[in-house]
A and B are shown apart, each in its own frame.
Chain A
Amino acid sequence: MFLIDCPYCGPRQQTEFHCHGEAHIARPKDPDAISDVEWADYLFNRSNTKGVFYERWVHNHGCRRWFNLARDTVSDRILAVYRMGEKPPRVKK
């Protein structure tokens, strides 16, 4: 069970959080302008990286704020925690 350092509340048990998958997938600005293939890529395709992965979590039994984690999906080590809108930090495994 992870210990997640919520950027708003500090370290809390994983049980207080919910993971919502890959971060930094922007909704296409003009969905009509893109092909079905591109739309499907936005809808369904995920990097699913083995290694450093950027993902969204929400502190749903806490401040209810969303934020991002950089996590090594092999060691499960959390390498960085950053707020929505912030650029993903460069991290090393």
Chain B
Amino acid sequence: MTQKFRLAEGGRINRDHPVQFQFDGATLHGYEGDTLASALLANGVHLVGRSFKYHRPRGILSAGAEESNALVQLREGPRTEPNMRSTMVALFDGLKAESQNRWPSLSFDVWSVNNLFSRFLPAGFYYKTFMWPASFWMTYEKVIRNAAGLGKGPLGRDPDRYEHRNQWCDVLVAGGGPAGLMAALAAGRAGARVILVDEQSEMGGSLLSGTGEVDGKPAADWVAEIMDELRSMEEVTILPRTSVSGYYDYNFLTLLERVTDHLDDEPDGKTPRQRFWQVRAKQVVLATGAIERPLTFLNNDRPGVMLAGAVRTYVNRYAVLPGLKAVIFTNNDSAYDTALDLRRAGASATVVDVRKAPRGALVEAARAAGIDIMDGKAIVKVNGGKRVTGVLIRELSEDGKTVTGGSQSIGCDLVAMSGGWNPTVHLFSQSRGKLRFDESLAAFVPDKSFADERSAGACNGSMKLLDCLTEGLKAGLAAARDAGFNVRKAPTAPKVDEAEEGGIMPIWVVPSGKRLGQGGKHFIDFQNDVTAADVSLSHREGYVSVEHLKRYTTMGMGTDQGKTSNVNALAIMADLQGVSVPEAGITTFRPPWALTGFGAIAGRNVGEFMDPARLTAMHDWHVEHGAKFEDVGQWKRPWYYPKPGESMADAVNRETLAARSAVAMVDASTLGKIDIQGPDAAEFLNRIYTNAWLKLPLGSCRYGLMLHEDGMVFDDGVTTRLAENRFLMTTTTGGAANVLTWLEEWLQTEWPEMKVYCTSVTEQWATVSVSGPYARHVVGSLTDYDKLGPKDLPFMTMAEMDIAGIPARVYRISFTGELAFEVNVPRRQGLALWRAIWEAGQKYGITPYGTEAMHVLRAEKGFIIVGQETDGTVTPMDMGMDWIVSKKKGDFIGRRSFAREDTARDDRKQLVGLYTEDDPHHVLVEGQQLVAEVKPTPPMKMVGHVTSAYFSSNVGRSIALAVVEGGRERMGETLYAPRLEGGRPVKVTITDPVFFDKEGVRARG
């Protein structure tokens, strides 16, 4: 078990719990508490990945969420995940990780040839080439696509489970570092409901990376005490391993909690792998810390070049020494802590400081510790390929623009760099807060808040520990107060002893002594291989707007979304333009803060829960009897009931014949049903439907068409007058919800004076429609037969009676054109009713039929289906339904639109029937277009299309409905239906759309 670079003591790893893992097939060891990155470093592994474009060898840059280099493919099989930041992956026993974007191996990557040709591949090179020959882009593209991408996608279905949790709180604290802990403590003590979130495995933030003391005790002990108190508070929820992924309007925040990702066991199927929180917070405290900026110097991307703060984290938190011989390259004081810690841990450390004669207390401490400080100097080049081997150092000019004198070479295996710190303003910016540029930090800091939110600590630009603690405390108190809590006993900020820091010297490109782009590369965006020369090219070519810069160079477009590169690139662009950084602008920070799993966002809304199916009371019977189902809206409806060996056509023919020759039954429960009551109900229907409703007799049914205000049909159905002031409206299955909304819209917004009340009762009823010559026999055998007679229950009326002992409403209405009874009973008795009718119908050969047969039967009668014959561009007149448009009753919705120029035309597309001429058995394709004149090749002028087409056993041939321009005047005319598969177009004759029982005597019988 060699962890050569593991320090003998210290760190927050659990040395009692060693862990074995694999990286690129090699078996390595670490400890519980490690991240994959810290464990790799402990084993001396620095080469971890390859970059996106040039396939340059890359190591570990950071120790946190901002990691842009060290991405790995984690796990195998259906649980594999690409692009995982090794700095955020908790180590577990048996972990398997692979490097990405290399072939055949990480160490020997064929694609690194891109690096050799990199001179020909500057930013945006692809916009300037690959244009010849014109048809070859797809060929070039294929090569480019294969070279791009990083990891590999998982295959198959995700075996894990995800959950959502919706929560509200008084104060959400994002970040569990010193500021966040104080904020949570202050708000918690005030009694507020607090959610404290941190993406690390434990709270403490930067306090876990350092060596300092808080309140006279080691910082980690202080954190433990605070955590004990927070855990004791009932209203405080503590969420480690949780990222705030998005900060949206009205203080709506989304959190991704990684519940089991850090465990070696796979989730048991009960515990969710991740939990996606949607939190509405009254107040938010942002305590998200700061991200260190890389310095931009030649070959600053070599494995072994790391952020100084990260080096410190590895040393102190993980007890790992990332190098034995370190050069610290900095423009500010904070990196001196790293130098001191490295030294203490046994490494050698040399500081190269771009500042001339820096004087902060830390600098003095370093000097006192005997650390060599080379001030006013710069690293002009990093040597080494797959690992840093040394650096070249030269004297830097006062203004930082040039280097002078000879170069000095230092051998080293680690470069710890610090270009200053950027407050992590991402969430603040997502919440629509405005940023300002702080010259003393050379960074963007929060300026004006938009949301009910406060920033505290480093993310607010306060880099000193005491300020973080104090600001966190204040922010927590203020947030609690604004959330309505009386703060009686406010905690006080703990004492800390801190060194006074000197100022920063912003330096955005470290000169190499050569022109940019020559002799090596100054990387800004490591993952996407964007260099300072690329920014310069972008400027030269006029892509100067910050968004153009980003899009042209792809800076900030990687998985890290520019966390370490944005400000550096922007500042270089500002320099080139000769303007200040804020004048150059800033890109918008968009959610999510960090990669957020789609599975987590979907939660349990997958599989059958994606959109739960609506089933009728008789569904199980249909299943038992072999029904095939059709999705209609959210409903599952029986489509047809094939008997063994039957094709769909066989089944449908049998079902349709039965309905006209004997008796058949259909489950019509899915039709929308709306109970409409109130003294103005009839008048309301009069306005909503195209026909007249005031005089509809009690117990009578009437068919109605509903239009939108543009005059186009949008729903239809039969409505029955149950009482003087009460109607039951039926709607199409798919349109029910929209119709109810439509009714309410008119009632509540336009005619509030009308006393009408609408209630959806779709789910309250089960409906069995019995059709055919023996329909009366069958239904009659379950009730008083005489009550169903033509006198007692004439066509288009309704009566209440018991059917099979079940109280029912029996409607004498027919969608098949046959004698039909539609029996409605309370839903819970639907199955009983269905069974009773089924039993009673046996001696008449009763046949259940599905939607397909229903459609054939109604088409034989020329009855339209809204959404099939109509498509939102069809008037009642187009459907030949002038008879239903009242000329006398006055205004109704949609009427005025009929008078418009286009709507009033008499050569609009009109509903007609079609017969195929050559082969009476040939069924047209629904949707097939019709032409009057066939041309050898398209385009051909289309005059209409087939809306419905079936083989009709009852008519003995195929039939079709269609809409055809001026169709009603074209009866007998021949049209042609060209076929997709080619060949001769089908000849069709325009005919009346009623194919069966034109006089309509059967339904009235």
CB within 8 Å of B: which residues of A? 1-3, 13, 18, 20, 26-28, 31-32, 36, 39-40, 43, 56, 58, 60, 64-66, 75-76, 84-85
Contact indicator A1/B752 (Cβ below 8 Å): no
A2–B252 alpha-carbon span in the complex (Å): 8
- A-side contacts of B895, CB under 8 Å: 31
A47–B742 alpha-carbon span in the complex (Å): 22
Contact indicator A39/B748 (Cβ below 8 Å): no
Proximity string of chain B (742-758) to chain A, C-beta cutoff 8 Å, 1 when within and 0 when not: 00110011101000000
Additional A-B contacts beyond A27-B750, A32-B896, A64-B744 (4; CB < 8 A): A1-B249, A39-B897, A66-B748, A75-B432
A70–B231 alpha-carbon span in the complex (Å): 43
A38–B280 alpha-carbon span in the complex (Å): 44
A57–B666 alpha-carbon span in the complex (Å): 38
State which residues 738-777 of B face A: CB under 8 Å: 741, 744-745, 748-750, 752
Contact indicator B752/A85 (Cβ below 8 Å): yes
Contact indicator B709/A66 (Cβ below 8 Å): no
Contact indicator A84/B748 (Cβ below 8 Å): yes
Contact indicator B749/A1 (Cβ below 8 Å): no
> Could you list 18 A-B pairs, sorted by A, with CB under 8 Å?
A1-B252, A3-B250, A13-B280, A18-B741, A31-B891, A31-B896, A32-B891, A32-B896, A36-B899, A36-B901, A43-B897, A56-B749, A58-B741, A58-B745, A66-B744, A75-B450, A76-B249, A85-B752
Q: Which 3 A-B pairs have the closest CB atoms?
A: A31-B896, A66-B748, A3-B250
Contact indicator B748/A65 (Cβ below 8 Å): yes
Contact indicator A20/B745 (Cβ below 8 Å): yes
- A-side contacts of B432, CB under 8 Å: 75
* A1/B896 contact (C-beta < 8 A), A27-B750, A43-B709 known: no
Kindly provide the distance from the CB of B706 to the nearest chain A CB, expressed in whole angstroms: 16
* A36/B900 contact (C-beta < 8 A), A1-B252, A43-B710, A84-B752 known: yes
Contact indicator B744/A2 (Cβ below 8 Å): no
Kindly provide the distance from the CB of A57 to the nearest chain B CB, expressed in whole angstroms: 11
- B-side contacts of A20, CB under 8 Å: 745
- B-side contacts of A40, CB under 8 Å: 900
Contact indicator B749/A84 (Cβ below 8 Å): yes
- B-side contacts of A18, CB under 8 Å: 741
Q: With CB as the reference atom, state the residue of chain A lying closest to B750.
A: A27
Kindly provide the distance from the CB of A32 to the nearest chain B CB, expressed in whole angstroms: 7
Proximity string of chain B (276-311) to chain A, C-beta cutoff 8 Å, 1 when within and 0 when not: 000010000000000000000000000000000000
A66–B563 alpha-carbon span in the complex (Å): 45
A76–B250 alpha-carbon span in the complex (Å): 9
Of listed B248, B249, B749, residue having the most chain A CB within 10 A: B749
A75–B540 alpha-carbon span in the complex (Å): 36
Kindly provide the distance from the CB of B678 to the nearest chain A CB, expressed in whole angstroms: 15
State which residues 875-901 of B face A: CB under 8 Å: 891, 895-897, 899-901
State which residues 215-254 of B face A: CB under 8 Å: 248-252
Contact indicator B744/A58 (Cβ below 8 Å): yes
Kindly provide the distance from the CB of B611 to the nearest chain A CB, expressed in whole angstroms: 15
Kindly provide the distance from the CB of B381 to the nearest chain A CB, expressed in whole angstroms: 50
- B-side contacts of A84, CB under 8 Å: 748-749, 752
Q: With CB as the reference atom, state the residue of chain B lying closest to A28.
A: B896
A64–B744 alpha-carbon span in the complex (Å): 8
- B-side contacts of A3, CB under 8 Å: 250-252, 280
> Among the listed B248, B741, B896, B900, which residue makes an inter-chain contact with A60, where contact means beta carbons less than 8 Å apart?
B741
- B-side contacts of A1, CB under 8 Å: 248-250, 252
A18–B738 alpha-carbon span in the complex (Å): 12
Kindly provide the distance from the CB of B895 to the nearest chain A CB, expressed in whole angstroms: 7
A27–B745 alpha-carbon span in the complex (Å): 12
A66–B72 alpha-carbon span in the complex (Å): 52
Q: With CB as the reference atom, state the residue of chain A lying closest to B737.
A: A60
Q: With CB as the reference atom, state the residue of chain A lying closest to B758.
A: A64
Kindly provide the distance from the CB of B16 to the nearest chain A CB, expressed in whole angstroms: 46
Kindly provide the distance from the CB of B450 to the nearest chain A CB, expressed in whole angstroms: 8
Q: With CB as the reference atom, state the residue of chain A lying closest to B711.
A: A43
A58–B740 alpha-carbon span in the complex (Å): 12
State which residues 393-435 of B face A: CB under 8 Å: 432
A34–B752 alpha-carbon span in the complex (Å): 24
A28–B750 alpha-carbon span in the complex (Å): 11
- B-side contacts of A39, CB under 8 Å: 896-897, 900
Kindly provide the distance from the CB of A38 to the nearest chain B CB, expressed in whole angstroms: 10
Contact indicator A66/B896 (Cβ below 8 Å): no
Q: With CB as the reference atom, state the residue of chain B lying closest to A66.
A: B748
- A-side contacts of B748, CB under 8 Å: 58, 65-66, 84
Q: With CB as the reference atom, state the residue of chain B lying closest to A13.
A: B280
Kindly provide the distance from the CB of A12 to the nearest chain B CB, expressed in whole angstroms: 10
Q: With CB as the reference atom, state the residue of chain A lying closest to B251.
A: A3
Contact indicator A66/B899 (Cβ below 8 Å): no
- B-side contacts of A13, CB under 8 Å: 280
- B-side contacts of A85, CB under 8 Å: 752
Kindly provide the distance from the CB of A73 to the nearest chain B CB, expressed in whole angstroms: 13
Kindly provide the distance from the CB of B748 to the nearest chain A CB, expressed in whole angstroms: 4
* A2/B749 contact (C-beta < 8 A), A39-B900, A43-B897 known: no
Q: With CB as the reference atom, state the residue of chain A lying closest to B254.
A: A1
Proximity string of chain B (702-713) to chain A, C-beta cutoff 8 Å, 1 when within and 0 when not: 000000011000
A52–B350 alpha-carbon span in the complex (Å): 61
A40–B750 alpha-carbon span in the complex (Å): 18
Q: With CB as the reference atom, state the residue of chain A lying closest to B747.
A: A66
Of listed B250, B251, B709, B750, residue having the most chain A CB within 10 A: B250
